[in-house]
Structure 1
Amino acid sequence: MRIAGVVRIGVAAAACGVLLTSCASGNDDGSEDGDAGHGKGAQGSGKGAAAADLRRIPDVGDGLQSKIPQNSRQVVAVYGDGVDSADSTVVLYTKSSDQDKTWKKARSWPAHNGKKGWTTDHRENDKRSPVGVFTLTDAGGVLADPGAKFPYTKSASIQAPHYWPKTHWHDFDYVIAINYNRAKGTPPNDPTRPQGQEKGGSIWLHMDHGSGTSGCVSLSKSGMESLLRTLDPKQHPVVVMGDKANLRA
């Protein structure tokens, strides 16, 4: 069901500040990278090698590969440059049908992640993005719905605080909630954290301002619009995210 209009969430203004501390980002230039160096392994020598590679998300090891649901036909892969780097690349992979066993690279975009890099044990305010496989079910933003297939909450309460630098004010014009320590089926800024406050939360895909975030993944406005119009709950989309070493573990 699409949620229209401004949604009022029963939290105090101070609580909103806490919610938003886990998100801040970088680079709204609309630039895209059609290759980004990922997925090239699928072009391996010999048809057998290529077919085997195409059945897996490139550069993702058995540990995380096994956590991708069997019924997922859309994967947003976030390839971090390094464990302590804020630079990353977002690549969208898709399957054409339930019978299709091969992943196809659809689009890619330069992106940013936590300003201190990545972690397998994310904590509140550690400025690192959590490594893992997470479902995607809910979206929203300050701007009107651009044609999202997810339930979309347009709300002024999602606005980035104006005590942040002005370059950050549009970070949350579009957001897709990453289901890390949050309640599925709720607006992105719902404050519920099932694993407790200390595990952090409010980890989103959102618009970029050109540098690292407080834990979210950020990409261009055009990239966010593309993801919102493409990702479909019926395709059971997930995000696979981490630095290169942890992704391959």
Structure 2
Amino acid sequence: MGGALNSRVPSDSRQVPAVYGKSARSADSIAVLYTRRAGGWQRERSWAAHNGRHGWTTAHQEDDGRSPVGVFTLSDAGGVLPGQGTGPPYDRTAAFAAPRSWARSYWRDSDLVTAIDYNRISGRSPLGPDRPRGRSKGGDIWLHVVHGSGTSARVTQSLTDTESLLRTLDPARHPVVVMGGRDALAG
């Protein structure tokens, strides 16, 4: 793992899922899980992902269809499904269920989610309403189950990969997500 954002990874962090957009305007990404060991960062595994349908931004705004670029802690999780064996605190509630008025392809999105601590207060449910930077900066940025295409601003992956990541994340290892277009992460 390298690049400009690497220097912003806290020194106590030992787990980093890095989400690399294929370009600044692409909704297609690859996610790579890195673990810090004595010899440095080790690439553990990778999987296909999606991000905001309009790509990435360093100035995210509510409803812009772009995912925020940056390094964010991963402190809380939740969803409709049981969080069996999850590392982060898990809030299971039907309140995560997508409205049935939405397209059927979105109904499973919130079966399992990991909150990305962008404009939210960690230590609360991913559904927490707080927006410390203001509502215009958006919120509810999550890693969650894919519905097949780009998102409003979240990062998505398969159900199997979402389950695996939730079981792997260990709060004692201070996980953070590093995310952005490939050029932002490499620079």
Taking structure 2 as the reference length, the TM-score comes to: 0.98
- Which 4+ runs in 1 deviate beyond 2 A? none
Paired letter, 2:52? G
Residue 225 (structure 1) aligned with residue 167 (structure 2) = no
Specify the alignment match of 2:115 in structure 1: 177
Residue 213 (structure 1) aligned with residue 113 (structure 2) = no
The whole-number CA distance in structure 1 between the counterparts of 2:46 and 2:26 is 19
Sequence identity, in percent?
56
Gaps of 5+ in 2: none
Residue 83 (structure 1) aligned with residue 21 (structure 2) = no
Residue 154 (structure 1) aligned with residue 92 (structure 2) = yes
Gaps of 5+ in 1: 1-56
Local SS of the residue matching 1:225: helix
Local SS of the residue matching 2:74: strand
Higher alpha-carbon Rg: 1
RMSD: 0.9
Specify the alignment match of 1:168 in structure 2: 106
Local SS of the residue matching 2:114: strand
Taking the TM superposition and a 5 Å limit, the aligned residue runs for 1:25-174 are: 57=1, 60-62=2-4, 64-96=5-37, 100-174=38-112
Local SS of the residue matching 1:222: helix
More strand per residue: 1 or 2?
2
The whole-number CA distance in structure 2 between the counterparts of 1:245 and 1:79 is 9
Paired letter, 1:93? Y
The whole-number CA distance in structure 2 between the counterparts of 1:244 and 1:112 is 13
Residue 194 (structure 1) aligned with residue 135 (structure 2) = no
The whole-number CA distance in structure 2 between the counterparts of 1:181 and 1:101 is 33
The whole-number CA distance in structure 2 between the counterparts of 1:222 and 1:178 is 19
The whole-number CA distance in structure 2 between the counterparts of 1:102 and 1:247 is 18
Deviations 1:145-184 (A, max 9, x none): 1210110000101111222110110000000000000000
Local SS of the residue matching 2:85: coil
Shift of 1:114: 0.3
Specify the alignment match of 1:203 in structure 2: 141
Shift of 1:101: 3.8
The whole-number CA distance in structure 2 between the counterparts of 1:246 and 1:170 is 30
